[in-house]
Amino acid sequence: MAEPIKFTEEELKTITELRDSNTQKIGEFGQIELEFLLANQRLESLRNAKTKLQEDYVELQKTEQELVRKLNEKYGAGTVDLASGEFIPVNWLFGTKL
């Protein structure tokens, strides 16, 4: 059986540096994968928030259309002056009397 051979200090230093560099790179790869995971989770959260806002906006449009329909039935065509809280009929806007 052959006798064990002792590495030189320089060889041991090189082997240790390579091993440490490998370990560091593997850790960095893991960190990058974790960052990708967190970024994808954030993107998914943003997509969900966007979808919810789109759904809310569509519902808001429906509510607005229903209010306009009811106000048109009650008051006729016209506009609303939010500052004064008044309804201005179309015929008044065009200076005609019906």
Encode pLDDT of 13-66 as tens digits: 999 999 999 999 999 999 999 999 999 999 999 999 999 999 999 999 999 999
Please answer whether residues 87 and 75 qualify as being in contact, where contact means their C-beta atoms are separated by less than 8 angstroms.
Answer: yes
User: 76 versus 49: which is more confidently predicted?
Assistant: 49
What's the pLDDT at 95?
61
The whole model's pTM is what?
Answer: 0.62
User: 19 versus 97: which is more confidently predicted?
Assistant: 19
Burial track 15-28 (b if 16+ CB lie within 10 A, e otherwise)? eeeeeeeeeeeeee
Residue type, position 29, single letter: F
User: β-strands 86-89, 78-81: how paired?
Assistant: antiparallel
